[in-house]
Every structure is written in C-alpha cells, then in structure tokens.
C-alpha cells in the first residue's frame, strides 16, 4: 500500500514537471535518453561492489529519465511510469543490501517499463494521427535479433512515415505498428525464457534473476493482446504465473516448474495475429515441408544405416520448418480440433526424436516408420487446416524453394555436390509444380532468367546446375544463387494478387492457347493440304497421333495429381526429347512435302507415281502418326504440368473453365486456317501451307534449342548486343544465343534448300525422262478454284 501511494505521488510529480520536461525532451531525443538510462544502469550493476559508484550510476539514470522521458511517460503511459518509479526504488534498495540479483531484476523491470511506456505513447500518437510524436518515440524500442535468415522489421517505421505523408490511415498504420512491435516483444520474451533456462542450468543467479524479470516485463507489453485473445481471467492467471516465475528466478527456487507453467500459458498465443493471407501462407509452408520429411529421410537411410548425413539434416530442416509453421497456427487448430492438434504436436515430437536419433546415429528408425507417421500427420493437418486456406499460396512455394536452395548451398559448402544437385532439383521441382505456371503467364519476363540461373546460365552468368556439375567453389554458387534469388523476388512481387479466380482462369486459358497454337499450326497446315480424295487418307494417321497425344496428356495429368513434383523434376528433359523427335519427323515431312507435293505436279501424275507412293505408305503413315503425336504431346505434357499447379491453387473448375476457353480459341484458330486455305486457289494454298510449316519448324527448332540449353544438353553463348523482348522468344522461339539463332538459320536453309533441291531433282528427272520418253508430259495442275 505504501509503495502504491509513493508511486502515485511520483506519478503526480511527473505530471507536474511535464511542462518543464518538454523542453528537455526537445534537447535530447527520447531514444538517446533511453539508451543513456539503460547503459547507466548496467554500469551501476557492474559497479555494485563499489556502492558509491553504483548509487551515482542510478542517480544519473534517474536524472536522465526525469529530464527527458518522465514528462511524456507520466502523461501518456502512467502505468509504465509507475513501474519505472517503483523500479528505481528497488534499485536503490538493492544497492544498500549489495543484492546483485535483486538489482538485475529491478534493472530489467525499469527497462521493460520504458519499452512499455514508449509502446503506449506510439500507440496513442498513431491513433491520434500525430505522426511526429510517433516518429519521436518509436525509436525507443527493441528489435528482433538479426539472424542469417531474418532481419529486423521496419514495418512500423514505414507505416508512420506513410501516416506522416498522408498515404496511410491511422487505423492501418496502427495495425502495422502493432504487428511489428508485438511480434518483436514476443520474440524478446521467448529469448528471455531461453536465457532463463540456460542461466538456471548454469546457476548464474544474477543473470537468472534478470532473465526472469525481463520475461515478466515483456509479457506486460503483450498483456493487452493476451487479454483480447484469451479474456480477463486468463490474463490474470498468466500475470500470476509470470510473477511467480520472476520470484522463482530471483530466489533460484523451482524455476523449471514455474517456467513450465508459463510455457503452458503461452502455448498457442501469438501476440501479433497473422493476417488471413499470412495464415494461408504458413499453412502452405507447413504442408509442403512436412511432405518432404519422409522423402529426405528415406533417401538418407540404406539398410537400416544412415547412408547420407545431409539428407537427414534436410529432413531436420523441413520438419523444423513445418513445426514452426504449425506452432504459429496452433491456436487456430486447437479451436477447430483440440485433440487433433495435440496428436499432431505429438507426431511432430516423435518425428523429431526419430530424426535426431538418426542424426546422432543412436538409433535408426525405418523409413517406413517415418513415412507412416508423416502420412498420419499430413492427414491430421489436412483436417486441421481451414478450408479457406486450402487454395495453396504461391508465397509458400517460394519459401520452400528458398529452403531447398539453402540446403543446396550447405551441400556445396560440405563438398557434397551430388547432394547439392539433388537439393537443386528439389527446389526446381517445387517451382515447376507451383509458381512456374503463374510466372509463365503473369511474369513471363522472369521465366527465362529464372530457368537460366537454375540450370546452365543466363545472359553470360553461370547457372546453378552448371556450377554444381563443375564442382565450382561456394563463392561462385552463391553469386548464382543471389542472382536467382533476385529474379525470384521480382517474380514473386509481380505475382502478388494473381491468385484471384479470374486471374487463374485467364492464366490457364493463355497457357492452353499458347501451348496449343504450335501444334494446331502444324496439324492445320498439313491437313488442309490433304484435301483431295487422293490424299485425304493421309489425315488419318495425323488424327490418330493427335488422339493418342490427347489420351497421353490426360493420363499424364491424372498421374501428376499424385506425383507432381516428381514429374516437374524431369519435365524439361522430357520436353527436350519429345521436341527433338517432333523436329526430326517434321523435317522428314517437310522434305517429303516439297518433293512429292510441289514438285510432282500436285498429284497430276499421282497415278503414275502410285506404286512408289504405296511403297512409302507405311513409312508415311508412321511418320505422320508420330508427327501428330509429338506435336500435341510435347505441348500437352507442359500444359498438364502447368494446369495441375494452377488446380492446386484455385481448384479444378476454375482452371478447366480457363482451359476450355483457351482450347476454344485454339480450335477457332485452326478452323480459320482450314477455312483460309480451303478458300485459296490450290497454288496459293500450297504456298501458304508450305510457308506455315516452315515457320512452325523454325519456332520448334528455336524452342527446342532453348530447352536443351536450359537442361545443359547444348552450350549457351549469348549474343549480348541483340536484345529481344521476352514475348518474342515465347511466341517465335527466338532467343539471342549463337546456338538458337544458328540452328534456326540452319532450319530455314534446310526448308528453302529442300524446296529448291527437290525442284532441281524433279526437273532433272523430268529432263532425263523426256530424253527417254519424249512424249510423256506432266499433267497440268487441276484448277480447283
């Protein structure tokens, strides 16, 4: 009671000196004053064996507080001010008794009360649209500890800047500032609890007392959020447990038990609640990571022994990532199914034990056991995740890609290049089975560069696959990784907002249209020329090939539903092989087309040549069948892969609507070519068809060279002076590389050369035939139109 009266008096005194303090406040920014206070108190603690110096240190800290911080604190954050005043009293008392733990605890109380006061001042200032006051006091704060993977948050700073400029409303700025600061102080609370456990284990009495008081002080900042989420009764209970923990830490008694109580209270509590989008992203990360755990574990174990350490470490990383995401969402899961959440937590622990035991080789669980537990966990988590989050978020894919690339770097650092390649492929497969489709449609300008950095290079820079193949040093791998990260970040940024149903449907329509166009051009061009009764039969093998390709594409789609990442990991290579077959057949067909169709007088002498054609009929049939199949399936495979990725995001109906629209456009385009050709005089139709086939061949050659460069089957020499827009490459297969343009040029030379060579041969043959049988003349071409 006496203490409270003293504190109230101090508070009133603070209010009275407020006007005078305002000028002092202007003299020294609060952040510098707070830091001066903090460091003076620490020095006083270090000087505790010399009471006079310790007292001087506390007095200096108090003077700084009174002159600079107290006026605003007393007026805008009276509860924090009371804590500070009380803390100073305890500091002085601790000096008198030379009680280092009590001094450390009081010091922690004063400091966290300063942070609490600043939090409330900033809070009130933002709510009152006073950006200047908020900017002055926000720097009196702590930050999350920077790690290799996480940097201190700057959201509150930027939000207050935006408030100042009038580009953000106070309510929005407040939400951002809360999220930043509460997240920070919860992280600091966790650090304090970890420190408490560590110092208790070492019996460091002063450090333990400080850590216990810090935990209590940080919780005081989080208390309003706790009350909002859990209610008044729960808050009172939590405050009691924190107070008990602080006392236990000070006395050195039953710290572990008190810490366990606090841990139980905090379970599932997240002071800065995640937004709906962040929750969906965490859920996406959780599901992706946990699915990778049994895969990595299984790869690491052979015949009951750990065969590949790195795979076990990867399993650890992915399990830890999944559990971290699970813990972020646990309170939500518990409200949906408390028993399920508990079982899931238990399974996470069991997996941790299995993997840890394998890691230190104390016991090696069978991969089947890990698989079984992972499957059960996946099933549980699938039930726990609210349906609204079921549509997978591309951001989570990028997170998992980054994790897999981290594993790749670790493997390179350890000189384990095979494992590095495995991790690289893993990362690429995740990208291919997820965001690749969206990048292709909505951020196409990044597709080539991302592929290049993943594989064998882009714009003269090395790619990861090439570097790993050459066993390049870590520094070079890091440079390529950095470039890749840059492109991925830009693509991710460009994809924001592209998961709306209309965007996904448009995306799927564009994919189907673009992938289908090339196939349709070949089919329409050739089939349109097979329109006389004499050669109509040649349409049959092409239709048959097309039908088979459709069936194969649908089968691929169905198989991919369960093993998407497996397909994605070798998709490029499969596409390259099928493309080469398609080009080979197309070259044969082109040659045949010019030779038989143009130069033999358009079937005028068909009957006379019948015998020779019949001899080649079987080859023709197979050739056209293969052409029909490969032309469609090479596009069908990629389409199935991309659409499957979109289905994961938006569900099948939206994707199929878009795909149907794209397919309708493809059919219309094909019919238009048919109609155009059917209305052309036969001669012009032939020219048109021939040119079309030639053009398609060029595009196919260009795209195939590109894909073969991506997978490293062809060298890549960029032509730097030639800048072509990305869409030009996508639609015309023209990329500025020596190999791409060179082979396209060679293909063009082949087509034109075939045309003239066939003509020359035919003339020669005719001349030769005329010499033998001067009466035999070629029949005139029938004028069908």
| Rounded Cα–Cα distance for residues 710 and 285 (Å) | 28
- Gap between the Cα atoms of 390 and 437, Å rounded: 19
Beta bridge partners of 472: none
Q: How many CB atoms within 10 Å of residue 363?
A: 10
d(C-alpha 532, C-alpha 539), whole Å: 11
Per residue, the 3-state secondary structure of 457-491, as one string, reads CECCECCHHHHHHCCCCHHHHHHHHHHHHHHHHHH
35 lies in the binding site for other proteins (CB under 8 A): yes
Cβ distance to other proteins smaller for residue 410 or 620? 410
- We find the least distance from the C-beta atom of residue 407 to other proteins, in angstroms, to be 10
166: contact with other proteins by CB under 8 A: no
- With b for 16 or more beta-carbon neighbours within 10 A and e for fewer, the 223-248 pattern comes to bbbbbeebeeeebeebbebbebbbbb
The verdict on 313 binding other proteins (CB under 8 A) reads: yes
From 11-19, 225-233, 260-268, 475-483, give the range in contact with other proteins by CB under 8 A: 475-483
Residue closer to other proteins (CB basis): 471 or 561: 471
Residues 586-605 that bind other proteins (CB under 8 A): 598-599, 601-602
Answer for which of 116, 199, 487, 709 binds other proteins (CB under 8 A) is 199
Selected binder of other proteins within 48, 266, 329, 730 (CB under 8 A): 730
For other proteins, the binding residue among 114, 503, 512, 574 (CB under 8 A) is 503
Residue 168 binds other proteins (CB under 8 A):
yes
3-state secondary structure of 416: coil
Which of 47, 129, 155, 352 binds other proteins (CB under 8 A)? It is 155
| Coil, helix or strand at residue 724 | coil
Query: Distance between CA atoms of 239 and 82, rounded to whole angstroms?
Result: 17
Buried b (16+ CB within 10 A) or exposed e, 9-28: ebbeebeebbeebeebbeee
Region from 79-87, 308-316, 450-458, 572-580 binding other proteins, contact rule CB under 8 A: 308-316
- Contact region for other proteins (CB under 8 A) — 235-243, 278-286, 491-499, 622-630? 491-499
Q: Which of 15, 55, 124, 206: binder of other proteins (CB under 8 A)?
A: 206
Residue from 4, 132, 145, 547 in contact with other proteins (CB under 8 A): 145
Could you give phi then psi for residue 306, rounded to 5 degrees? -75, 115
Please identify, among the stretches 75-83, 165-173, 294-302, 557-565, the one whose residues bind other proteins according to the rule CB under 8 A: 165-173
- Is residue 39 near other proteins by the rule CB under 8 A? yes
Whichever of 738 and 781 has its CB closer to other proteins, that residue is 781
Alpha helices in 530-651 (DSSP H): 539-560, 564-592, 606-615, 617-650
* CA dist., res. 171 & res. 123, Å (int): 10
Closer residue to other proteins, CB minimum distance, 377 or 436: 436
Both tokens assigned to 387: 């349906």
Residue 27 interacting with other proteins (CB under 8 A)? no
From candidates 543, 592, 606, 731, binder to other proteins by CB under 8 A: 731
Burial (Cβ within 10 Å: 0-12, 13-18, ≥19) of residue 722: exposed
Give bridge partners of residue 586 from the DSSP assignment: none
| Interface stretch with other proteins, choices 15-23, 410-418, 611-619, 768-776 (CB under 8 A) | 410-418
In whole angstroms, how close is the CB of 31 to other proteins at the nearest point?
6
CB-based contact 128:233 (threshold 8 Å): no
Contact between 475 and other proteins by CB under 8 A: the answer reads: yes
Q: Is 567 in the site for other proteins (CB under 8 A)?
A: no
Number of residues that bind other proteins (CB under 8 A): 102
Distance CA 62, CA 43 (A): 14
Q: At closest approach, how far in Å is the CB of 345 from other proteins?
A: 26
- 164 touching other proteins, by CB under 8 A: no
Specify whether the CB–CB gap between 560 and 731 falls below 8 A: no
Q: Which of 23, 50, 98, 167 binds other proteins (CB under 8 A)?
A: 167
Q: Give the span between the Cα atoms of 221 and 120, in whole angstroms.
A: 9
Among 629, 663, 667, smallest CA distance to 643 is for 663
Binding to other proteins (CB under 8 A): which residues in 757-776?
Answer: 759
In terms of Cβ atoms closer than 10 Å to its own Cβ (0-12, 13-18, 19+), residue 672 is exposed
Which segment (125-133, 194-202, 576-584, 637-645) binds other proteins by CB under 8 A?
194-202
Which residue among 257, 617, 622, 687 contacts other proteins (CB under 8 A)? 687
Q: How far apart are CA 684 and CA 677, in angstroms?
A: 8
Among 506, 535, 591, 717, binds other proteins (CB under 8 A): 506
Q: Which of 81, 120, 178, 207 binds other proteins (CB under 8 A)?
A: 207
Q: Is 606 in the site for other proteins (CB under 8 A)?
A: no
Contact by Cβ (8 Å): 115, 142 = yes
Site string for other proteins, 51-90 (x = CB under 8 A): ----------------------------------------
In terms of Cα–Cα distance, which of 90, 159, 173, 92 is closest to 128? 173
Residue selected from 24, 31, 613, 719 as contacting other proteins according to rule CB under 8 A: 31
Residue 123 Cβ vs other proteins, minimum distance, rounded to whole Å: 16
CB 693 within 8 A of CB 590: yes
Token reading at 675: 């109609």
Region binding other proteins by CB under 8 A among candidate stretches 144-152, 420-428, 576-584, 607-615: 144-152
Min dist CB 340 to other proteins, Å, is 32
Binding residue (CB under 8 A) for other proteins from 259, 441, 549, 625: 441
Residues in 646-685 that interact with other proteins by CB under 8 A: 669, 673, 683-684
- Does the footprint of other proteins cover residue 395 (CB under 8 A)? no
Tell me: does residue 247 bind other proteins (CB under 8 A): no
Piece in contact with other proteins (CB under 8 A), picked from 84-92, 497-505, 701-709, 768-776 = 497-505
By CB under 8 A, name the one of 57, 300, 321, 444 that touches other proteins: 444
Residue with tokens 């002498």: 605
* 3 state SS of 302: strand
User: Rounded CA gap, 699 and 705, in Å?
Assistant: 10
Neighbours of 474 (CB within 10 A): 16
Residue 73 or 693: which CB sits closer to other proteins? Answer: 693
């Amino acid at each position: 009671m006496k203490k409270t009266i003293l504190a109230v008096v101090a508070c009133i005194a603070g209010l009275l000196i407020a006007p005078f303090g305002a000028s002092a406040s202007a003299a020294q920014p609060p952040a510098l004053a707070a830091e001066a206070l903090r460091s003076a108190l620490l020095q006083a603690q270090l000087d505790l064996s010399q009471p006079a110096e310790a007292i001087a240190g506390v007095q200096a800290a108090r003077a700084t507080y009174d002159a600079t911080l107290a006026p605003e604190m007393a007026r805008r954050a009276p509860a924090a001010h009371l804590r500070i005043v009380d803390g100073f009293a305890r500091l002085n008392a601790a000096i008198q008794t030379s009680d280092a733990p009590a001094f450390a605890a009081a010091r922690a109380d004063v400091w966290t009360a300063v942070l609490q006061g600043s939090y409330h001042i900033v809070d009130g200032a933002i709510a009152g649209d006073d950006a200047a006051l908020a900017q002055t006091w926000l720097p009196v704060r702590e930050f999350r500890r920077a790690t290799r993977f996480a940097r201190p948050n700057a959201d509150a700073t930027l939000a207050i800047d935006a408030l100042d400029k009038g580009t953000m409303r106070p309510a929005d700025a407040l939400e951002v500032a809360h999220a930043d600061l509460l997240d920070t102080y919860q992280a600091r609370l966790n650090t304090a609890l970890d420190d408490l456990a560590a110092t208790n284990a070492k019996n460091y009495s002063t450090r333990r007392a400080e850590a216990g008081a810090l935990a209590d002080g940080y919780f005081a900042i989080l208390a309003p959020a706790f009350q909002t989420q859990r209610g008044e009764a729960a808050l009172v209970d939590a405050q009691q447990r924190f107070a008990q923990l602080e006392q236990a830490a000070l006395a050195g008694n039953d710290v572990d038990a008190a810490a366990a109580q606090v841990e139980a209270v905090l379970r599932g509590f997240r002071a800065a609640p995640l937004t709906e989008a962040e929750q969906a992203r965490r859920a996406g990360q959780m599901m992706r990571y946990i699915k990778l755990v049994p895969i990595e574990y299984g790869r690491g174990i052979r015949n009951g022994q750990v065969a590949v350490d790195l795979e076990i470490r990867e399993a650890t990383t992915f399990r830890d990532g999944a559990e971290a995401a699970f813990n972020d969402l646990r309170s939500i899961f518990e409200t949906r199914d408390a028993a399920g959440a508990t079982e899931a937590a238990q399974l996470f622990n069991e997996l941790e034990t299995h993997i840890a035991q394998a890691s230190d080789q104390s016991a090696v669980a069978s991969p089947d056991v890990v698989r079984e537990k992972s499957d059960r966990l996946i099933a549980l988590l699938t039930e726990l995740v609210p349906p609204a989050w079921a549509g997978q978020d591309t951001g989570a894919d990028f997170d998992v890609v980054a994790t897999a690339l981290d594993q790749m770097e670790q493997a390179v650092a350890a000189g384990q290049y095979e494992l590095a390649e495995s991790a690289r492929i893993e990362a690429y497969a995740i990208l291919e089975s997820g965001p690749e489709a969206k990048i292709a449609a909505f951020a196409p300008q990044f597709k080539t560069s991302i592929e290049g950095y993943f594989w064998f290079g882009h714009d003269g820079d090395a790619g990861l696959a090439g570097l790993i193949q050459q066993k390049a040093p870590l520094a070079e791998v890091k440079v390529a990784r950095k470039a890749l990260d840059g492109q991925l970040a830009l693509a991710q940024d460009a994809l924001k907002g592209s998961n709306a149903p209309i965007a996904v449907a448009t995306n799927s329509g564009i994919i189907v249209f673009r992938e289908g166009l090339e196939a349709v051009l070949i089919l329409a061009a050739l089939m349109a020329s097979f329109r006389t009764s004499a050669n109509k039969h040649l349409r049959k093998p092409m239709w048959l090939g097309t039908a088979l390709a459709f069936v194969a594409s649908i089968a691929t789609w169905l198989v991919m539903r369960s093993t998407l990442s497996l397909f994605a990991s070798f998709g490029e290579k499969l596409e390259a092989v099928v493309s080469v077959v398609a080009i080979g057949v197309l070259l044969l067909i082109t040659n045949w087309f010019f030779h038989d169709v143009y130069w033999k007088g358009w079937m005028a002498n068909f009957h006379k040549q019948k015998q020779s054609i019949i001899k080649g009929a079987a080859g023709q049939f197979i050739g056209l069948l293969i052409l029909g199949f490969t032309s469609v399936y090479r596009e069908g495979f990629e389409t199935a892969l991309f659409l499957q990725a979109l289905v994961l995001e938006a569900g099948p109906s939206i994707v199929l609507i878009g795909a149907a629209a794209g397919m309708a456009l493809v059919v219309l385009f094909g019919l238009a070519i048919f109609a155009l050709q059917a209305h052309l005089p036969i001669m012009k139709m032939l020219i048109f068809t021939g040119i079309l086939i030639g053009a398609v061949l060029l595009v196919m050659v260009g795209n195939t060279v590109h894909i073969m460069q991506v997978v490293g089957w062809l060298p890549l020499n960029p032509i730097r002076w030639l800048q072509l827009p990305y869409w030009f490459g996508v639609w015309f297969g023209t990329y500025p590389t020596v190999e791409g343009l060179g082979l396209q040029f060679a293909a063009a030379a082949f087509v034109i050369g075939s045309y003239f060579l066939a003509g020359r041969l035919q003339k020669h043959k005719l001349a030769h035939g005329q010499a033998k049988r001067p009466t035999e003349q070629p029949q005139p071409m029938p004028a069908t139109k």
